[in-house]
Copies of this chain bind each other. A is one copy, B any other.
Amino acid sequence: MSSAAGIAPYSDDQAESARMIRDSAAGYATDVARARALRFTNPGFSKDTFREMGELGWIGLAVPEAAGGSGLGMVELVTLSEELGRGLAPEPVIPATLSALLLAEAGETELLGQLLAGEAVVLTAWQDRAATLKPCLDAAATRRFIPMAAGATHFLVPTEAGLTVVEAAGADLVTEPTNDGGNLGTLRPKTYQSVGQATLGPALDKAALATAAYLLGGMEAAFAMTLAYLNTRQQFGRIIGTFQALQHKAVDVKVQIALTRAAVEQAAAALDAGTTGDAASALVSRAKARASEASMIVGQMCVQLSGGIGYTDDYDVGLYLRKAMTLAPLFGGAALHRARFVQLSPETEDA
């Protein structure tokens, strides 16, 4: 569709690897009906599908081979997440990836094995309040906003003493429904033993970047639907896609998507090329800030461009907006990540 769309800052090997991921995820990327059917169920996703995804190696995609993962990079995780976002797959692959990275670093093997196989659903309960990027390490603090918590078998609770594991059965957990048909959990603490040490920052960054990619995939799918609508719907005796005002709005959507892709793929490539520390976090922050903001803009513009039909729950475009409403703030929203970017990133050179 456009000359630069296919030119990521990826090597030929990375591009080939990404293509293979895309192919393997094609089934989920197109099955929005599956995602629709799972909305507002308990736990809001399919445990069978989660297990299949484990079998496909997706939960351990970015986990080192030594720890039982596939040892692939962020390019692959980002590509997978994008495809999952296209199909609105509700399975908590990204939160599970975060947990897998932490368990691998902590050297815990048993639960990690179950998680990578998709048999255990291990979610990390890292935040104690809204609008923060700082993991809470206070063992006594209530943990909030745990995505898809209703389906968890275990929670990872990072504490000063190390990473602790909480079994979901018997945990003091409350879940609230979210607009995408899933749920967010609040977990009141109990005391557990540490299973090892793990640094949260880099793993949270990877989850944030993957979430940005998920939102990117969703934006593209919603926009494709919207373009198709603009190309068929008639009003006042004309295809509405001929109206210049709507054309220009569509272009603005396209630009937001292009900027998101540029930021997401730049960050993925840089992380895989060995960028770490503040420089890596700054790139991730830019990608997540853009994706969080763009997904809301794109979602609401696609609803607007779809007119009345866009406001019905039957029409899939709305599902993408509801997903953006839920995911845009997770792992940090636009304002938070922009502030972090400025803090972490050196100024541009004086001109």
A248 interfacial by beta-carbon distance below 8 Å: yes
State the number of copies, please: 2
A66 interfacial by beta-carbon distance below 8 Å: no
A1 interfacial by beta-carbon distance below 8 Å: no
Residues of B contacting A243 with CB < 8 Å? Answer: 244
Residues of B contacting A245 with CB < 8 Å? Answer: 244-245, 248
Complex CA gap A244/B248 in Å reads: 10
Residues of B contacting A244 with CB < 8 Å? Answer: 243-245
Complex CA gap A168/B101 in Å reads: 75
Contact string against B for A residues 231-246, beta-carbon threshold 8 Å, 1 for contact and 0 otherwise: 0000000000001110
Complex CA gap A228/B245 in Å reads: 21
Residues of B contacting A248 with CB < 8 Å? Answer: 245
Complex CA gap A243/B244 in Å reads: 7
A247: nearest chain-B partner, CB-CB: B245
Q: Which positions 112-147 of chain A face chain B at CB distance < 8 Å?
A: none
Q: In the complex, how many angstroms separate the beta carbon of A235 from the nearest chain B beta carbon?
A: 13
Q: Which positions 236-278 of chain A face chain B at CB distance < 8 Å?
A: 243-245, 248
Complex CA gap A248/B243 in Å reads: 12
Complex CA gap A215/B300 in Å reads: 35
Complex CA gap A243/B242 in Å reads: 12
Complex CA gap A293/B206 in Å reads: 41
Complex CA gap A165/B243 in Å reads: 63
Q: In the complex, how many angstroms separate the beta carbon of A237 from the nearest chain B beta carbon?
A: 15
A248: nearest chain-B partner, CB-CB: B245
Q: In the complex, how many angstroms separate the beta carbon of A252 from the nearest chain B beta carbon?
A: 11
A243: nearest chain-B partner, CB-CB: B244
Q: In the complex, how many angstroms separate the beta carbon of A253 from the nearest chain B beta carbon?
A: 15
Complex CA gap A248/B249 in Å reads: 12
Complex CA gap A243/B243 in Å reads: 9
Q: In the complex, how many angstroms separate the beta carbon of A248 from the nearest chain B beta carbon?
A: 5
A245: nearest chain-B partner, CB-CB: B244
Q: In the complex, how many angstroms separate the beta carbon of A19 from the nearest chain B beta carbon?
A: 38
Complex CA gap A248/B244 in Å reads: 10
Q: In the complex, how many angstroms separate the beta carbon of A255 from the nearest chain B beta carbon?
A: 15
Complex CA gap A324/B243 in Å reads: 33
Q: Which positions 11-37 of chain A face chain B at CB distance < 8 Å?
A: none
Q: In the complex, how many angstroms separate the beta carbon of A239 from the nearest chain B beta carbon?
A: 14
Complex CA gap A306/B179 in Å reads: 45
Complex CA gap A190/B323 in Å reads: 67
Complex CA gap A245/B249 in Å reads: 10
Q: Which positions 286-319 of chain A face chain B at CB distance < 8 Å?
A: none
Complex CA gap A248/B245 in Å reads: 8
Complex CA gap A243/B248 in Å reads: 12
Q: In the complex, how many angstroms separate the beta carbon of A82 from the nearest chain B beta carbon?
A: 32
* Listed A/B pairs (5) with beta-carbon separation below 8 Å: A243-B244, A244-B244, A244-B245, A245-B245, A245-B248
